[in-house]
Chains A and B, each alone.
Chain A
Amino acid sequence: MRSRTAQEPALAVVPEAEPSSPSTTSAIAGADRAIVQRAVKGDARAFQLLYQQHQGRVRATLYSLCDAEGLDDLVQEVFLRVWRGLPRFRGSSSFATWLYRITWNVASDRRRELARYRSRHQVARVTTDSEQADRAIEQAIDPATRDAAPLNQLHYQDLVQRSLDILGFEARDVLVLCDLEDVPQKEAAEILGIPVGTVKSRLFYARTQIRQFLQQQGVEL
């Protein structure tokens, strides 16, 4: 029987993997595999390494798939599921694919939960232009973001966020995975449990929708 100890480890923070070349990618994949194998055997320090390497990406994906509300809870839920599922992880797919699948499952659960809540309380999610403007202003006056990004950058970020909001969940999932997270279409199909052809058609549809929206907002691409 596998013994798993969850004692708090003390490790240096490992920067997130940013593959730049094929050799770097394969080296990172190899190191990642070794860490995953250690974590599968119950090594808590290896699990913490995995958390530090992937939590940024998981967080960004969840933010793109859902929204900012309860984001910390969602990230925690993802890594709790990872911890629970690691003993059953056989490595038939890559760890990143498996992690994205868990992330997508958590996001889907969250959406279902929100949809149930809204239907029970009959609250329609109507995002008006004024609300969007308010959000942009809030971001603009937020000291954390004000110094980091100029106003036009915030404007474009707001446009991208709104363009994601107009997409249906299916198209949004594919666009976030393939275009924002740069996941290959085959892996996206594996994560979402749909054929590759469906991924491609949804991606085409999502890009068309977003392009039309951006053009309406005066952005020419």
Chain B
Amino acid sequence: MTDRPQSFGPPEPPDAPPTPANPPANDQPPLASGDPRLISAVDSAVDSVVDIDPNTPQLVEFLRLHRPAPPPAHPAMEQHLWLQIQQLERDRRRNQHRLWMGAIGAITLGCAALLTWGRNPSNLAPAIADADLENFLEDTWVMTVAPDTLSTNTASTDDTLPWSFDPTTWEPQPSRSIVAKNWTAMVIAPARPYL
């Protein structure tokens, strides 16, 4: 309960110098909502209204004096509270223990699984079945060798590559290789001249 004489005192004379309680009227811009000064002014006004009643101290005193006393606590209440706290701590420790054991178990299992999986090389290589690979080769192996050389010679020489890059000038060469020296030559080899 604080006194605020500046709010409820007698009006100041018109020629009184500006004071915090009596600021010059035209120099102050209007206060926007949310302005701390406005909030402070509203608080102060509410405060004044709350505190203005001269009977408030008597009322508060009466309420405190005749405040109903709570019934006394059960004699074993503190003991019971302590037991509950002990139970709470036991549960907390048990939960923490379970949490730690679960975390450690999960980490161990994860590491073991990772190690087991990593040791098997087939897991790291692309999984292509032999049959699939054979089918792929059969499908893509399109006339990569000259038809009349298939049965004659299987020797390989390095100086003949690429034998099929220019189909217009190609001539059957019995001594040439039947095996393509690289994959590119096999793939881009034109089929029409051999048909």
Contacts and interface: CB of A to CB of B under 8 A. Distances in A.
Decide whether A and B are members of one complex: yes
Interface of A: 4-8, 44, 47-48, 51, 55, 59-60, 62-64, 68, 71-72, 75-76, 79-80, 83-84, 144-145, 153, 156-161, 175, 179-180, 196-197, 200-201, 203-204, 207, 210-211, 214, 219, 221
B64 A83 contact: no
Q: B55, B82, B86: which has the most chain A beta carbons within 10 Å? A: B82
Interface stretch (B22-30, B71-79, B110-118, B158-166): B71-79
Interface in B76-133: 77-78, 80-82, 84-86, 88-89
A123 B174 CA distance: 110
A63 B42 CA distance: 33
Interface string B161-190: 000000000000000000000000000000
Contact of A75 (B47, B63, B65, B77): B77
Contact of B63 (A76, A84, A160): A160
Interface in B25-75: 39, 42-43, 46-47, 49-50, 53, 55-56, 58-60, 62-74
Contacts of B82: 6, 8, 48
B63 A72 contact: no
Is chain B's interface secondary structure helix, strand, loop, or mixed overall?
helix
B39 to A, nearest CB: 7
B185 to A, nearest CB: 69
Nearest to A142: B71
Given A51-B81, A80-B84, A68 B67 contact: no
Given A8-B82, A83-B85, A204-B46, A211 B67 contact: no
B80 A76 contact: yes
B66 A156 contact: yes
Given A4-B89, A6-B89, A221-B55, A60 B70 contact: yes
Interface of B: 39, 42-43, 46-47, 49-50, 53, 55-56, 58-60, 62-74, 77-78, 80-82, 84-86, 88-89
Nearest to B72: A144
A145 to B, nearest CB: 8
A207 B68 CA distance: 17
Contacts, number: 106
Contacts of B71: 63, 68, 71
Nearest to B46: A200
A72 B77 contact: yes
Contact of A153 (B43, B55, B66): B66
B88 A160 contact: no
Contacts of A48: 82
Contacts of B42: 197
A204 B85 contact: no
B186 to A, nearest CB: 67
A179 B60 contact: yes
B68 A160 contact: yes
Contacts of A159: 66
A81 to B, nearest CB: 11
A80 B82 CA distance: 9
Contacts of A68: 70-71
Contact of B55 (A44, A59, A79, A211): A211
Nearest to B80: A76
Given A59-B70, A68-B71, A200 B47 contact: yes
A172 B88 CA distance: 33
